[in-house]
Amino acid sequence: MLAGNARLKELIASLISKGREPHSLIITGEHGQGRKTAAKYISQALLCEQQSGTPCGRCLACKKIKNGTHPDVMFLKANENGNYQVDTVREIVSDAIVSPNEGRFKVYIIPDFDKSGITGEQAQNILLKLIEEPPEHTVIILTADSKEAFLSTIISRALALSVVPCSVQECAEYLGTLQKYSYGEIGDAVSAIGGNIGKCIEYLEKENIFFAVKYARDICKALTDRNEYVLLMTLTECDCKKGLLRQTLECISGIARDSAVISMGGSATGCDKEGAMVLSGRLGAAGSQKMYEVICNYIKKLDSNCSKTLTVNALCADLSVL
């Protein structure tokens, strides 16, 4: 079930109750914030037997969508590189003409559309035909980090919605309903991550983000203690697993930003509020700002595939002189 996001739910309910169901939607938002869950929610709202605009969660259609077995809700899968095959997109266009199997609508969900670099524009041009003149029973939902991924011709014809992070309380309540984690674990997760449910679950399941937060806290402490040895060791350690260094740097950039904010009288929101407080005492506003810029620069370098070992050594040197 989609937690929070009351405005999105109200808008969908209002459109459906007026019989103005959207045929093309774009859902944007940060990773983990529930774009796919929102797409599922909208499919349920469209196909729920109660037709109230809000999914009842109990009828057969709602249940089938929840379990991923509804024949009229299609989740597209990209290949291992994140690309959608042009042929798969063509199949949607021809399949969309065929009436739904059991529901009022046929819903095609294409998640992470912006990750499909190679076929993105070509795929959009093929989809455009469908989006310009959709059959009465067809709904297409595309998800991405931001709207920038889409051609203006698509944006102008689609209803653009964004998923927003839940409050920490809404997130903790939702995690509690999963009946999988203790109160203590949930408290840890929301204090490190905030209201992003997807990322909190990754943290609780000890995926990369859990270690990224741990390493970022260690690095923050090493900077406060001016311990260059621990700094280099920790950076090297988090460099041993794919994607972990980048995630750790993102966490550290949040700590640096918090440190700058605290120096200017604001309050912290990142994964290490206490660490940021101590760090701000050492670096001050200007030093924290400089640290933030240094980290962001290295994230850019990582993204442009610079040699990682070089990056770690140079980053350590740059941070040590702050």
Task: Supply the minimum distance, in Å, between the C-beta of residue 21 and Zn ion.
Answer: 15
Residues in the chain: 322
Shortest distance, CB of residue 6 to Zn ion, whole angstroms? 19
Please, what sign has the CA dihedral across residues 208, 214, 219, 220? positive
Largest Cα–Cα separation, the chain = 67
> Minimal distance in Å, beta carbon 71 to Zn ion?
16
Minimum distance of Zn ion from residue 110's CB (angstroms): 24
Which residue, 63 or 301, has its beta carbon nearer to Zn ion?
A: 63
Q: Which of 3, 11, 13, 59 binds Zn ion (CB under 5 A)?
A: 59
Decide whether 56 or 322 has the Cβ nearer to Zn ion.
56
Are the CB atoms for 320 and 235 separated by under 8 Å? no
Residue 53 CB partners (closer than 8 Å, separation 6+): 12, 13, 14, 15, 16, 17, 45
Considering only the stretches 60-68, 151-159, 160-168, 296-304, report the one whose residues sit in contact with Zn ion under the rule CB under 5 A: 60-68
Nearer of residues 48 and 212 to Zn ion, judged by Cβ:
48
Choose one: 5-13, 56-64, 165-173, 295-303; the region binding Zn ion (CB under 5 A).
Answer: 56-64
Q: By CB under 5 A, name the one of 56, 128, 160, 299 that touches Zn ion.
A: 56
* Tokens of residue 203, six digits: 């943290």
**Applying CB under 5 A, what is the total number of residues that bind Zn ion?**
4
- Pick 1 or 306: Cβ nearer Zn ion: 1
Distances (CA, A) of 32 to 86, 170, 195: 27, 15, 10
To the nearest whole angstrom, how small is the minimum distance from the Cβ of residue 185 to Zn ion?
32
Q: Which of 62, 127, 144, 193 binds Zn ion (CB under 5 A)?
A: 62
Strand partners, 73: 107
Which C-beta is closer to Zn ion: that of 29 or that of 55? 55
Sequence-ordered list of residues with C-beta below 8 angstroms from that of 55, at least 6 positions apart, any chain: 41, 44, 45, 48, 62
Please state the closest distance from residue 159 (CB atom) to Zn ion, in A: 22
Q: Find the radius of gyration of the CA atoms of the chain.
A: 23
Q: Tell me whether residue 70 or residue 217 sits nearer to Zn ion (CB atom).
A: 70
The identity of residue 284, as a single letter, is G
> Which window, 32-40, 58-66, 210-218, 244-252, contacts Zn ion (CB under 5 A)?
58-66
Q: Which residues contact 122 (CB under 8 A, 6 or more apart)?
A: 86
- CA of 272: how far to CAs of 41, 188, 201, 232, in Å? 33, 11, 18, 19
Nearer to Zn ion, 59 or 233 (CB): 59
Residues from 13 through 52 that contact Zn ion (CB under 5 A): 48
Binding site for Zn ion (CB under 5 A): 48, 56, 59, 62
